[in-house]
């Protein structure tokens, strides 16, 4: 059983060498008399920014416990059930949810596993648009942003897994949408593939405030926050009165020992803003409704989806750390096995 294990706790930017590929010779099976267990083959693994928090010794800084050095990482993935004593799963079923960064995982009373019923879209989509990241975009946009047709929406890290979907949902809803991303290729995707009204490369803007004023001369009604730090600081004075900021993530802060100061907070008062953080795990009750909405959109081509697919468990460490340098173009995932 090949595994990606954490070598040491991480501080600062994570490196490939913080992880290691090891092979364990223990043959996994469901022990006799063990109920509610599944043995899964991991097919596709999702690389997610929150995993950085779990690589730190003080995982409490994030909202989940730390990974243990010497143990495989864990995260979201799409899996095949090889054996089961769980009433909800039988051999051959497909599911997505929490699993190990390894070829096979024994899960006793799985923490989060959802059976996959719809199999006429690529299975890898369950690491992203049909899984946790998709639901994040949906719950964040509809529940937290309180959108109204015609409003001005700004999305940061817009070409990523969450951002690309937020932008498209906002367009379908009838909003005016601008996204930012960190390369020309990503900006082209935003404008030409995902249908954003405008997009810009934040790395080429010497003055983010001026850039936002250029794209939002009348201000921003909704900011979907993925980045934090300087970006948030620049957005705050550009918000319109009674604007909403859905705080989904702050990836620019995850590798810093101390979060950067944000200076423009008084705008929250002056502009009567609502800033609301949210975590997708509070929104799983919306998942069936979300699938009913998004699957037809995908099939009709009204929503498109871009994945960055890395081959083999060995590519896991580089793919994961690549999120923090913007190496990924679209949703980053790792193929462990295609069947």
Residues that bind ligand NDP (CB under 6 A): 48-50, 133, 136, 157, 159-163, 181-183, 186, 226-227, 248-252, 278-280, 323-324, 326, 328, 331
Nearer to ligand NDP (CB atom), residue 49 or residue 147: 49
Nearer to ligand NDP (CB atom), residue 106 or residue 169: 169
Dist. CA 195–CA 199, nearest whole Å: 10
Nearer to ligand NDP (CB atom), residue 39 or residue 47: 47
Q: Tell me the closest approach of the beta carbon of residue 332 to ligand NDP, in angstroms.
A: 6
Q: Tell me the closest approach of the beta carbon of residue 228 to ligand NDP, in angstroms.
A: 8
Nearer to ligand NDP (CB atom), residue 88 or residue 326: 326
Dist. CA 96–CA 132, nearest whole Å: 9
Dist. CA 81–CA 61, nearest whole Å: 33
Q: Tell me the closest approach of the beta carbon of residue 162 to ligand NDP, in angstroms.
A: 4
Q: Tell me the closest approach of the beta carbon of residue 256 to ligand NDP, in angstroms.
A: 9
Helices H / strands E in the chain, number of each: 9, 15
Q: Tell me the closest approach of the beta carbon of residue 265 to ligand NDP, in angstroms.
A: 19
Q: How many CA atoms lie within 13 A of 95 on its CB side?
A: 26
Q: List own/partner pairs for 311-316 with CB under 8 A and 24 or more apart.
A: 311/335, 312/336, 313/2, 313/3, 313/4, 313/21, 313/45, 313/101, 313/102, 313/103, 314/21, 316/4, 316/19, 316/21, 316/45, 316/47, 316/73, 316/101
Nearer to ligand NDP (CB atom), residue 93 or residue 225: 225
């Amino acid at each position: 059983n090949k595994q990606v294990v954490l070598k040491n706790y991480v501080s600062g930017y994570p490196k490939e060498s913080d992880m290691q590929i090891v092979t364990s010779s223990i043959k996994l099976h469901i022990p006799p008399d063990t109920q509610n267990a599944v043995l899964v083959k991991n097919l596709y693994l999702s690389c997610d920014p929150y995993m950085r928090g779990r690589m730190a010794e003080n995982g409490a800084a994030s909202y989940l416990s730390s990974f243990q050095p010497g143990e495989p990482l864990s995260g979201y993935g799409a899996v095949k059930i090889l054996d089961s004593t769980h009433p909800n799963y039988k051999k051959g079923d497909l599911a997505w949810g929490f699993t190990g960064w390894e070829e096979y995982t024994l899960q006793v009373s799985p923490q989060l596993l959802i059976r996959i019923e719809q199999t006429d879209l690529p299975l890898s989509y369950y690491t992203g648009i049909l899984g946790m990241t998709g639901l994040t975009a949906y719950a964040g946009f509809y529940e937290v942003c309180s959108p109204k047709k015609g409003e001005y929406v700004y999305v940061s890290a817009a070409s990523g897994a969450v951002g690309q979907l937020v932008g498209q949902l906002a367009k379908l809803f009838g909003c005016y949408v601008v996204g930012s991303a960190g390369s020309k290729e990503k900006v082209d995707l935003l404008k030409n593939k995902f249908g954003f009204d405008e997009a810009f490369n934040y790395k080429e803007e010497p003055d983010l405030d001026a850039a936002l004023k250029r794209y939002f001369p009348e201000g921003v009604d909704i900011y979907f926050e993925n980045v934090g730090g300087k970006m948030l600081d620049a957005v705050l004075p550009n918000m319109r009165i009674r604007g909403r900021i859905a705080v989904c993530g702050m990836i620019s802060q995850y590798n810093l020992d101390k979060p950067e100061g944000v200076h423009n907070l008084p705008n929250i008062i002056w502009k009567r803003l609502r800033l609301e953080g949210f975590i997708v795990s509070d929104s799983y009750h919306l998942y069936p409704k979300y699938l009913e909405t998004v699957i037809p959109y995908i099939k009709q081509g009204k929503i498109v989806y871009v994945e960055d697919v890395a081959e083999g468990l060995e590519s896991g460490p580089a793919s994961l750390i690549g999120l923090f340098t913007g190496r990924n173009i679209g949703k980053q995932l790792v193929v462990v096995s295609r069947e």
